[in-house]
Amino acid sequence: MDNTRIYIEMCDKAEEIQKGWIISDWDFVYCRGSEMVEVLSGYEVDGGYYGHSSEPQCDCPVSNGAYRGGFRVFRDEHFWLPQQADLQKMIIDSYREHWGNAVYAGMMEEAVSFASQYPYPSMEQLWLAFVMWGLHQKRWSGTEWVKEE
């Protein structure tokens, strides 16, 4: 999972991605208050939590809150850091319409072409950039998402 400052900034500024976020177990989130990456877990096994779990470690204001799996995530102070699989799920339906049953081959062909033109240091950065370009016609300028003319 990419938890670099650049990926965190890319995710924070990807408004379209954040608006579509449905909070789920095992989501990675970034807390602005604590400046920490946290993992949400709602799974309980034998009375305890399974795997990584965290209650937000900051004193976030109780506003625009969501509640999922026993953990509060306040959208004013937390945002989602989607993993590669999350990003691939976002774009696959649009490719299914165009490519039909060859959806994976078509998507991968375009993703490889995109990657050769716009190299990114992590798969999450690459797939986020590919999703923003493919679904929202935006490219990362190094500081913000810019709509293509």
Residues 6+ apart with CB under 8 A from 112: none
Tell me which amino acid residue 49 is. Y
Residue with tokens 């990362």: 140
Per-residue pLDDT, 64: 39
The two structure tokens encoding residue 65: 């809150």
pLDDT tens digit at each of 149 positions of the chain: 899 999 999 999 999 999 998 877 788 888 887 788 887 765 544 443 333 434 445 555 433 345 444 455 567 778 999 999 999 888 887 777 777 777 777 777 888 888 889 889 999 999 999 999 999 999 999 999 999 87
Tell me which amino acid residue 25 is. D
Q: Cβ distance 114 to 133 under 8 Å?
A: yes
- Cα separation, 123 vs 106, in Å, equals 18
Q: What is the pTM of this model?
A: 0.79
